[in-house]
Structure 1
Amino acid sequence: MILKIFFWVILLKLALSTSDDFTYNGFKGVNLSLDGLAGITSDGLLKLTNASRHAMGHVFLSVPLRFKTPQDNVLSFSTTFVFAIVPEYPTLGGAGFTFVLSPSRDLTQASPNYFLGLFNMTDNGNPSNHIFAVEFDTWDSPEAEDINNNHVGIDINSYISNKSTPAGFTSDYDGKFKNLNLLSGEPMQAWIEYDGIEMQFNVTLSPLWTPKPKIALLSSTINLSSIILDHMYVGFSASVGPSYSYHYLLGWSFKMNGAVPELNLSSLPPLPQNMASIKEKAKILSLWLPLAFLGLVLVIAGAIVVGVRKKKFSELREDWELDFASNRFSFEQLYKATRGFKDENLLGIGGFGRVYRGVLPASKVEVAVKRVSHESKQGVREFVAEIVSLGKLRHRNLVQLLGYCRRKGELLLVYEYMPNGSLDNFLFFEDKQTLDWDRRFQIIKCVAFGLQYLHEGWDQVVIHRDIKASNVLLDSDMNGRLGDFGLARLYDHGAAPQTTNVVGTLGFLAPELARACKVTTSSDVFAFGAFLLEVACGRRAIEPNKQEIEQVLVDWVFANWKMGMIHETKDPKLGEDYVLEELDLVLKLGLFCSHPMPSARPSMRQVTQILHGDVPLPQLLPCQSHFSESRRVVSFQKLHILDLVAIQCVQLHLGGERLFGGSTSRNDTSLIPNGS
């Protein structure tokens, strides 16, 4: 009997030691728990994500490991793994992945994007999560307070890192810090170590085949006793956002209470693109000899085809554009994506160009392509530089600008495609379903957050200059996203705005622009105020076919407010299905934002606080000056509408000004309301 007990104790110890110490040089035949996008390829690669968007994948060891002693002390552990991130676009990450310790393998209730597949909006920051992770993040998310779009961070029960640092390593040779681009598509090796006695946590990173650097990339003293439970699952989580990335693991080794076993780097499976390259070269070699005698015929025929094709798909490319190569699409790509820019793919016609829906041939990504005419070479370099800068904006309430293409006589801007089109189609056209009040109020808050990010949350101040319902697009979940940055201007925080030509849409132009010609965040707030009234009242900012007092939306709402009848201006299509307090707030906030005096308008941070009820709406005083000054500005706009049209037509020749924006609505000419 004693021998049997001794025998089972030995077997139990062997089982525990085996589960606490494992090395996978590739993942063929490995028993792991997978969910979401995660899977194992035929070559033995562990693939956490694929070409899907706004999704996530998880992989965990099938059994939990013991991380505490009977005295409740956290045990030491160490791990190393080789990973590679292959993005859809070279400079655009799809969020990131984490090494994670979790009390459960079931993280299906988590969210993708910046939540990294670990948390969601309700449980983020909750101590009961008991989740400890190291993130390898390729997305600069304002919500996550990320330091940049290429960093490593320590996450405890929250997607907001306790500590983070740019990805890289310190060279043992010269002691200098070397940056590592997580989106390079190249394999890298990471080491993660925790000393349970000293409570010292280290993360180290290096290129593959480079010895482990002596100096850790990220070090921190952390007491994990209240975070880690007795038993925890060990694994990885990855997520993607508007653009996708493939997150691969090539090998993984783990050890409790000791130095982690080294991986056999030479036996790790290759990445897919390497295999494709080898197969392609072999295919070319096998075809070359049999087809050699047809070479002359093919060369002649090819020259003819290339000549025709070159003329059809000709582009303008200059040396200075090499700096923006990763942000440039070929015209051939966009031509095929839109099937030759056929009318059946036309999404809308604005004041400055046509917008087409397209599907990129290689990646099958849906995009919106805006064709903007221009003839001048002046200012093009500055314009492209600004477009590339705007492409770095990252916010869930902004439409992602993916890149550009340049041809003789026109520019093409490529945006993330929004399947539900623009908001004005739902507000002003009878063939669209009526948006209920809850959805309208949510869209208003979405746009407010996006505009606050433009004004305060990025490296530079971005003035949109064309905020209106037709430039607010709706994603698949009907969330509002501010788009069309063709008129946007950038300047550094703290710098004074420069004088510029007056561009935009009548009914949304702040009065001070007629005097000073300086766009500011306050002039954007004025336009946002008119946008609020568009949404609440279900009508355009200017409607010249109505009676004079009703032609200008801001004045009409203001007049009704003075008479105590502001609620009479609501959209009749709402019926009685609305929250009176919220409607009252939006209408009065719209007037508050569209005050003729810039100093009286709130900032977008104040606007978001008011919309969320964090601060009360200031009292709006019925001063006569508001009404009279607004009327004078509108009268100026009416009397000089033809002059403004002429000015903007001249500005289409650039002249140092970037004038490539406007509506994507079929019935909105941007300059002339209602197409009149």
Structure 2
Amino acid sequence: MPLLLFLLLLFFTPLIHATAAGEFTFHGFTASNFSLNGLTQITSNGLLLLTNNTKEALGHAFYPAPINFNNSSRLGSATPSFSTTFVFAIVPQYPDVGGHGLAFAITPWKDLPGSMPSQHLGLLSDSDNGNSSNHLIAIELDTVKTIEYNDIDNNHVGIDVNSLISLNSSTVGYYKSMMGDFTKLNLMAGDALQVWINYDADNTRLDVRIAPAKTPKPAAPLVSSTVNLSHVALNEMYVGFSASTGAGSARHYVLGWSFSLDGEAQALDLSRLPSIPKKGNTKKGTSVIVIVGLALAGFSLLLILVLSILFFCHKRRKKFQEVREDWELEYGPHRIPYVELYKATKGFNETNLVGSGGFGRVYKGVMPKSRAEVAIKRISHNSKQGIREFVSEIASMSRLRHRNLVQLLGYCRRQGELLLVYDFMKNGSLDKFLFEGKEPSLSWDQRFKIIKDVAAGLLYLHEGWEQVVIHRDIKASNVLLDDNLGGKLSDFGLARLYDHGSNPKTTHIVGTLGYLAPEFSKTGKATTCTDVFAFGAFLLEVVCGRRPMEFSSGHEDVPGLVELVTEWWEKGRIVEAIDPNMNGSFNVEEAELVLKLGLLCSHPEPTTRPSMRQVAQYLGNTARMPDMPLASLGGSIRFASFDVFSNDFGASFPSTAEVTSDHQSSTPTNSH
């Protein structure tokens, strides 16, 4: 038995070396018990794989035990010096297309809650970027230039403290000598590179060096910053790695790692590190052999072939030619080539058409590389006026991330049209279930969940992102259902942005009759209050199974939905307004809450309407909705329900239904 224990210890010693607390060395990670999160996994040969080629994803890997950063035995500094070195490799899915890089991180949390992929590197999100409460120290190895974070290029090393805007950064490379003999490196070359990070607590200096693996540690640091980490580090911190992908993707590997608190990290034995999977051979010589063979077959045949290719390329280029201007370069990561959208929809074949309306036609597609299902909306933009602002907002909104928003993946401009690309929702829009008899019929529990889903998405737009997003077109046809019939707010073609605390600008009055707040036609300003008004109409149509406005085939007036619900409330039988298709199977308290909340949101006075945060609290039963005296509410709402018929509208796109004299809904006349 002692001999067996000795052999086991001898076997695992080359992989892991750990001494006192705050000091460890890994030559591969096969026997490690790291805390893994996201896509991260340990491969069969011991590589730490932070991300695979999945797009818009992240991965975390942290040493399982916290390191004591503010209780060091050394004198003169609350935070001790530390040293670390690791070997890594970034293998992009496609050459020179990064996505997005990796970072060494020191943080109070192993799972980095709320962190986002893409330009956030799995470290932070837009809402907490720059907060001193992050207590984050990171060295980023970034392969995408992000304008909003002041990145210098798409191949740099940066020192980050509580923010993704680096204190200092430099293009990747190393100095062979102190005299400044600089050699540039490429993070996306797929080669093994080694990083050395040293923090001198006495001088509050943080140095970073990088060089190819098997190259000695450079004499001079690549990037340095003077920063007192005692104001950042807590008593206990976790150390590890984070990586993310975006529109482009890559495999981010860590091969070996050594760390030491209050001392120099043990040097890595590179001969004991696992190997990076070999990149595929491209057989570059094949095309040369073909050309030589054609040349030997005869100059005339080669000339015909070349001319044919040139003619074909010219026709193809003209067919897929896009509108591309210099100012669009800053939105590059969100732009999708037209040829990919053409292939995804089989040439925009009519069999792939899934909808059409006032803003264009929508096609289902399967992206040729990722095989992801998408919805592609084609919108005419013959006028150049305002297109730059519109594309800017589309690019901004493609960065919105919430489980109850349909993800806007990107855009493309070609000739006289703009194409918007979204995630595809196979269950389609909510109005098909409410008004067109799509099976199965929605139960009360499903409807109530959809209402809460949309409320959560709208709250994020109003308060949860870096800017205020006004949707301007909330209705059942713009709510899509996922595989589990969960609600996702979609169609940001009318949305507008403005900074928190600023006043919205006057704009054209666009939207859908029945959902437009009365003050919108007077001021021309879309606000969070006008969105709440439309959400009130949405609440009533989901519960009642009727559209906010209906027109008779005769000439008699048909009361609006707000007026009908108010009349039922006056009679003391408000639940009788509920959709008869539910056959009386619903939660009475929840249904009455939603109906009254719909009326409160539809109040003609904007200051009387609740905010979306209050709406979410009422629906989640974390706050009690205030009592609403019918006498002070009903009359004004009834009058305002018809106040939206204004001649000032820049455009309107009805979402109404023609009804017979008994007021039963039929097929909608038009919706977008």
Pairwise same-fold verdict (TM > 0.5): yes
Report the equivalent of 2:483.
476
Q: 2:581 corresponds to which letter in structure 1?
A: K
Q: 1:488 corresponds to which letter in structure 2?
A: A
Q: 2:398 corresponds to which letter in structure 1?
A: G
Map of 1:648-659 to 2, 5 A cutoff? 648=651
Report the equivalent of 1:327.
334
Aligned 8 A contact 1:96 1:239 in 2: yes
**Displacement after TM superposition at 1:424 (Å):** 1.9
| Alpha-carbon separation, structure 1, partners of 2:612 and 2:364 | 32
Report the equivalent of 1:49.
51
Deviation digits for residues 500-537 of structure 1, max 9, x if unmatched?
A: 22110111011112222221111111001111112222
Deviation digits for residues 585-604 of structure 1, max 9, x if unmatched?
A: 21111111110111111111
SS at match of 2:235: coil
Map of 1:443-522 to 2, 5 A cutoff? 443-522=450-529
| Alpha-carbon separation, structure 2, partners of 1:115 and 1:59 | 15
Query: Of residues 580, 594, 598 in structure 2, which corresponds to 1:586?
Result: 594
Aligned 8 A contact 1:32 1:59 in 2: no
Aligned 8 A contact 1:419 1:474 in 2: yes
Residues 239, 18 of structure 1: alpha-carbon distance in 2 compared, 3 angstrom cutoff: closer
Deviation digits for residues 538-563 of structure 1, max 9, x if unmatched?
A: 22222224996764222211221222
Residues 613, 83 of structure 1: alpha-carbon distance in 2 compared, 3 angstrom cutoff: farther
Report the equivalent of 2:125.
140
Q: 2:164 corresponds to which letter in structure 1?
A: P
Residues 89, 56 of structure 1: alpha-carbon distance in 2 compared, 3 angstrom cutoff: same
SS at match of 1:19: strand
Once structures 1 and 2 are overlaid, which stretch shifts more, 525-534 or 47-56? 47-56
Report the equivalent of 1:121.
none
| Alpha-carbon separation, structure 1, partners of 2:654 and 2:375 | 14
Query: Of residues 424, 428, 435 in structure 1, which corresponds to 2:435?
Result: 428
Report the equivalent of 1:356.
363
Residues 432, 300 of structure 1: alpha-carbon distance in 2 compared, 3 angstrom cutoff: same
- Tell me the matched-pair count: 590
1:260 equivalent in alignment to 2:302:
no
Aligned 8 A contact 2:337 2:412 in 1: yes
Map of 1:239-638 to 2, 5 A cutoff? 245-255=249-259, 258-263=263-268, 275=279, 279=282, 281-293=284-296, 295-545=302-552, 551-623=559-631, 626-628=634-636, 630-631=638-639, 633-634=641-642, 637=645
Residues 373, 621 of structure 1: alpha-carbon distance in 2 compared, 3 angstrom cutoff: same
Same amino acid, percent of matched pairs: 44
SS at match of 2:551: coil
Which structure's relative contact order is higher, taking Cα pairs within 8 Å and 6+ residues apart?
A: 1
| Alpha-carbon separation, structure 2, partners of 1:472 and 1:445 | 12
**Displacement after TM superposition at 1:372 (Å):** 0.9
| Alpha-carbon separation, structure 1, partners of 2:635 and 2:524 | 22
SS at match of 1:307: helix
| Alpha-carbon separation, structure 2, partners of 1:52 and 1:532 | 37
Q: 2:122 corresponds to which letter in structure 1?
A: D
Aligned 8 A contact 2:365 2:376 in 1: yes
| Alpha-carbon separation, structure 2, partners of 1:570 and 1:363 | 44
1:153 equivalent in alignment to 2:136:
yes
| Alpha-carbon separation, structure 1, partners of 2:618 and 2:412 | 41
Deviation digits for residues 176-202 of structure 1, max 9, x if unmatched?
A: xxxxxx99898886667899xx9x999
Once structures 1 and 2 are overlaid, which stretch shifts more, 367-376 or 164-173? 164-173
| Alpha-carbon separation, structure 1, partners of 2:598 and 2:103 | 42
Aligned 8 A contact 1:238 1:247 in 2: no
| Alpha-carbon separation, structure 1, partners of 2:121 and 2:40 | 17
| Alpha-carbon separation, structure 2, partners of 1:89 and 1:576 | 60
Residues 269, 588 of structure 1: alpha-carbon distance in 2 compared, 3 angstrom cutoff: same
Aligned 8 A contact 1:19 1:65 in 2: no
SS at match of 1:564: coil
**Displacement after TM superposition at 1:243 (Å):** 6.7
Q: 2:304 corresponds to which letter in structure 1?
A: V
**Displacement after TM superposition at 1:456 (Å):** 2.2
| Alpha-carbon separation, structure 1, partners of 2:92 and 2:233 | 32
| Alpha-carbon separation, structure 2, partners of 1:528 and 1:498 | 21
Aligned 8 A contact 2:430 2:480 in 1: yes
Deviation digits for residues 613-633 of structure 1, max 9, x if unmatched?
A: 232112222246753564455
Aligned 8 A contact 1:425 1:432 in 2: no
Report the equivalent of 1:656.
none
SS at match of 2:252: strand
| Alpha-carbon separation, structure 2, partners of 1:369 and 1:52 | 21
Note the residue ranges of structure 1 that are not aligned, 5 or more in a row.
Answer: 117-134, 156-162, 174-181, 229-233, 650-660, 666-671
Query: Of residues 148, 163, 166 in structure 2, which corresponds to 1:165?
Result: 163
SS at match of 1:166: coil
| Alpha-carbon separation, structure 2, partners of 1:286 and 1:536 | 70
Deviation digits for residues 268-327 of structure 1, max 9, x if unmatched?
A: 89988x945x73645444544334455422221112212322332232222332332322
Aligned 8 A contact 1:423 1:474 in 2: yes
1:19 equivalent in alignment to 2:17:
yes
Residues 95, 564 of structure 1: alpha-carbon distance in 2 compared, 3 angstrom cutoff: farther
- TM-score by length of structure 2 reads 0.72
| Alpha-carbon separation, structure 2, partners of 1:88 and 1:588 | 54
| Alpha-carbon separation, structure 1, partners of 2:25 and 2:527 | 59
Q: 1:442 corresponds to which letter in structure 2?
A: K
Note the residue ranges of structure 2 that are not aligned, 5 or more in a row.
Answer: 19-23, 74-78, 139-160, 176-185, 213-217, 658-666
| Alpha-carbon separation, structure 2, partners of 1:512 and 1:520 | 10
SS at match of 2:568: helix
